[in-house]
């Protein structure tokens, strides 16, 4: 039996928060509770205790500070652990600043969103809603960091998905997406029609289980360092001086 609409509307996403200190966590949770959009859960400061609480509380989203220790490595490692143990939980990393290294490390670890503390707090609620709905949260500058990393020579050579997952032509389209090309520009680069490019994108989305160009780029970004090398189906064009 389907619950009444009023009951469905009353169901709020469960969000577990772990900030840099116990006091910071408490303040963050209290701030997000005010507008009553989320069911907030205050996480214990100990990462092992937090992981144990995830199994008990089953939140949809985890807010995790990148400053759990003097080194950010503990935070990024915790993101990986959360994603390994609970792949359905989506993670947002709270950053003190949108530095390239922090942004790229957060997404590479498995975060679905990054939120910089220099942004207004009211945007954090929107960030949580978007990530909980399966979207990626990052501003234009932060997304550009990912694109820049992908098109670096070292990464570009390894931007190939496991054999059999995507065809050579589909991998070419992913390469073009990583360069930030539009459908028209991809069509020109690969000597295809725009309609054919759209069909390729639809198949890529379906195979990778994603729903947007940003998610394709993020998938490629996360897997670039460990993907098998394979020659591109086309040679890159030389730019004219």
Distance between CA atoms of residues 93 and 18, nearest Å: 10
Reduced to 3 states (helix: H, G, I; strand: E, B; else coil), residue 114 is strand
pLDDT band at 69 (very low <50, low <70, confident <90, very high): low
Length of the chain: 241
| Higher pLDDT, residue 50 or 210 | 50
pLDDT at 35: 78
Sign of CA dihedral 198, 200, 206, 208: negative
pLDDT in tens, 6-17: 444 457 889 999
pLDDT exceeds cutoff 70 at 239: no
State the average pLDDT over residues 107-123.
90
Selection from 19-28, 73-82, 139-148 with the highest mean pLDDT? 19-28
pLDDT exceeds cutoff 80 at 162: no
| Higher pLDDT, residue 120 or 73 | 120
Instruction: State the fold for domain 147-226.
Output: Arc Repressor Mutant, subunit A (1.10.10)
What's the distance, Cα to Cα, between the start and end of the chain in Å? 68
pLDDT exceeds cutoff 90 at 143: no
Q: Which residues of the chain form CATH 1.10.10.10?
A: 147-226
Fill in the DSSP letter of residue 228: P
Q: Which residues of the chain form CATH 3.40.50.2300?
A: 5-138
pLDDT in tens, 225-236: 433 333 333 333
CATH code for the structural domain at 5-138: 3.40.50.2300
For 75-143, give the secondary structure using H, E and C. HHHHHHHHHHHCCCCEEEEEECCCCHHHHHHHHHHCCCEEEECCCCCHHHHHHHHHHHCCCCECCHHHH
pTM for this prediction: 0.70
Residue indicated by tokens 């992908």: 150
Distance between CA atoms of residues 171 and 162, nearest Å: 10
pLDDT in tens, 17-67: 999 888 999 999 999 998 789 999 999 888 888 999 998 999 999 999 998
- Spatial CB neighbours of 1, under 8 Å, sequence gap ≥ 6: none
């Amino acid at each position: 039996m389907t619950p009444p609409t009023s009951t469905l509307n009353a169901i709020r996403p469960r969000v577990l928060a772990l900030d840099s200190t116990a006091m910071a966590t408490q303040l963050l949770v209290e701030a997000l509770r005010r507008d009553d959009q989320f069911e907030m859960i205050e996480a214990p400061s100990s990462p092992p205790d937090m992981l144990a609480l995830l199994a008990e509380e089953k939140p949809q989203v985890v807010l995790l500070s990148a400053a759990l220790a003097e080194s950010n490595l503990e935070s990024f490692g915790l993101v990986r652990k959360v994603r390994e143990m609970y792949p359905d939980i989506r993670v947002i990393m709270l950053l003190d600043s949108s530095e390239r290294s922090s942004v790229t490390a957060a997404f590479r670890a498995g975060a679905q969103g990054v939120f910089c503390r220099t942004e207004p707090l009211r945007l954090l609620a929107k960030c949580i809603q978007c990530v909980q709905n399966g979207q990626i949260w990052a501003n234009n500058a932060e997304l550009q960091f990912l694109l820049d990393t992908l098109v670096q020579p070292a990464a570009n050579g390894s931007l190939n998905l496991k054999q059999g997952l995507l065809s050579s032509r589909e991998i070419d389209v992913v390469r073009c997406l990583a360069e930030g090309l539009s459908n028209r520009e991809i069509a020109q680069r690969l000597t295809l029609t725009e309609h054919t490019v759209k069909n390729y994108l639809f198949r890529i989305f379906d195979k990778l289980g994603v729903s947007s160009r940003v998610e394709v780029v993020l998938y490629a970004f996360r897997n670039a360092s460990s993907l098998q090398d394979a020659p591109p189906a086309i040679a890159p064009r030389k730019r004219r001086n």
